[in-house]
């Protein structure tokens, strides 16, 4: 699986840009998908990843954020004229050198209310509350791309400022795969402070 993801990255068309202290790469895949990544120039850590798939009639689809804060006003609900409540819980994913991280905002309950469980049989992590007010399945694409399943022992979580913060310690296989992807990213020829339109989902 890791080799499949690495080969997909290698075979894609890539455009690079250095802007605002970030290394940005726009990928086009053979399947018609597009992906945009942004890496911190200071740490080489991925700070944003977004995907866009072709629509059913060949039109460009909506950008879906995998890593980083969700795009404002990019909800499918809003395209139908339905606006989500600002107080509704929402998930933002982040990556650090050693951990995968989820931040679920607008969750006011105390820490002892939450249970966070690895479900290898479903290839996900579940979050539930004892008061039955919240339930969420979290996919872990980083593990799937490395051919791994989630493990309970790697999960930690805390709660502060109405936000549940879940961290998952990266297995060595994920870290090694990230290093190989970063080598591909750094090999992409880049422009400096040029036209960012191809590197910014909009």
* CA distance between the termini of the chain: 30
Q: Which DSSP string do the residues of 36-52 spell out, in sequence order?
A: EEEEETTT--EEEEEEE
Q: Dig out the tokens for 117 from the structure.
A: 């469980």
How do residues 88-140 score in pLDDT, each as one tens digit? 999 999 999 999 999 999 999 999 999 999 999 999 999 999 999 999 999 99
Question: What is the rounded average pLDDT for all residues in the chain?
Answer: 89
Strand partners, 100: 95, 168
Parallel/antiparallel/unpaired status of strands 163-169 and 13-19: unpaired
| Dihedral sign (CA 81, 85, 90, 94) | positive
Contacts of 197 (CB under 8 A, 6+ apart): none
d(CA 174, CA 147): 9
- Taking 50 as the threshold, does the pLDDT of residue 198 lie above it? no
Above 50 in pLDDT, residue 22?
yes
CA distance 68 to 61: 19
The domain locations on the chain are 2-192
- Where are the extended beta strands (E) located within 53-186? 64-67, 90-95, 99-105, 114-119, 124-129, 135-139, 155-160, 163-169
- In three-state secondary structure terms, 181 is helix
**What pTM did the predictor assign?**
0.84
Domain 2-192 classified CATH 2.60.40.790?
Answer: yes
pLDDT in tens, 156-180: 999 999 999 999 999 999 999 999 9
- Cα(124)–Cα(25) distance, rounded to whole angstroms? 28
């Amino acid at each position: 699986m890791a080799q499949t993801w690495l080969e997909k990255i290698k075979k894609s068309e890539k455009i690079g840009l250095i802007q605002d202290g970030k290394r940005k790469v726009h990928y086009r895949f053979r399947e018609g998908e597009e992906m945009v990544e942004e890496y911190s120039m200071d740490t080489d850590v991925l700070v944003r990843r977004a995907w866009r798939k072709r629509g059913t009639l060949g039109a460009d689809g909506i950008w879906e954020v995998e890593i980083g804060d969700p795009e404002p006003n990019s909800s499918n609900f809003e395209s139908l004229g339905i606006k989500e409540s600002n107080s509704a819980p929402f998930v933002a994913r982040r990556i650090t050198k050693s951990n995968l991280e989820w931040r679920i905002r607008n969750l006011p309950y105390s820490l002892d209310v939450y249970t966070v469980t690895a479900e290898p049989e479903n290839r996900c992590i579940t979050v539930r509350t004892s008061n039955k007010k919240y339930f969420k399945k979290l996919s872990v694409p980083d593990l799937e791309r490395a051919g791994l399943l989630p493990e309970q022992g790697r999960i930690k979580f805390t709660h502060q400022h109405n936000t549940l913060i879940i961290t998952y310690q990266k297995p060595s296989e994920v870290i090694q795969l990230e290093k190989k992807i970063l080598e591909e990213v750094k090999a992409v020829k880049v422009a400096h402070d040029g036209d960012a339109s191809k590197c910014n989902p909009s």
